[in-house]
């Protein structure tokens, strides 16, 4: 798989859509994501228990034009240029922050990401800083959640 970004020494693992933790990521995304086109949810799991949850989005794009769109930035670049796209609004760092806010140690935990087919550099940085061991995506995510793929399901839930 040729991801837009993957840090050295890291891999992405895959689970079926019916995996319980992936289903929890999906449910959290559908309930809490503020991005109607790309609903993303992350759960952090340690010792078989969910210790953190996060969903993506902000209200910024409801009243403001995306700076990245105006500049025709490709996916994975320039998130810091737009308040609505800023990495602080991504599900992965939100899940890490949620776990830590609740007093959990995320070292050695796993992150299950629903709604994307890769993690951007700022999200990987949050995952690595949190000591997350593995990142799991859903089988078929490179097709289902990739804007470029003709069979994607983005915005169709």
What is the pTM assigned to this prediction?
Answer: 0.93
Residue 50 has pLDDT above 90, yes or no: yes
Quick one: how far is CA 126 from the chain centroid? 11
Structure tokens at 153: 């399901």
pLDDT confidence of residue 104: 98
Q: Nearest 5°: phi and psi at 31?
A: -85, -30
| pLDDT bracket for residue 43 (50, 70, 90) | very high
């Amino acid at each position: 798989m040729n991801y837009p970004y993957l840090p050295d020494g890291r891999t992405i693992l895959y689970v079926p859509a019916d995996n319980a933790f992936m289903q929890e990521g999906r449910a959290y995304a559908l309930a809490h994501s503020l991005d109607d086109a790309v609903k993303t949810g992350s759960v952090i799991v340690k010792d078989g228990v969910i210790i953190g949850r996060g969903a993506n989005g902000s209200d910024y794009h409801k009243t403001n034009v995306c700076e990245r769109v105006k500049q025709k930035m490709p996916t994975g670049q320039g998130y810091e240029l737009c308040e609505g796209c800023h990495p602080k609004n991504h599900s992965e760092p939100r899940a890490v922050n949620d776990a830590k806010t609740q007093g959990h140690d995320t070292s050695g935990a796993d992150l299950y990401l629903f709604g994307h087919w890769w993690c951007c550099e700022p999200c990987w940085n949050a995952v690595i800083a949190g000591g997350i061991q593995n990142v799991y995506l859903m089988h078929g995510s490179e097709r289902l959640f990739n804007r470029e793929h003709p069979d994607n399901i983005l915005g169709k839930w």
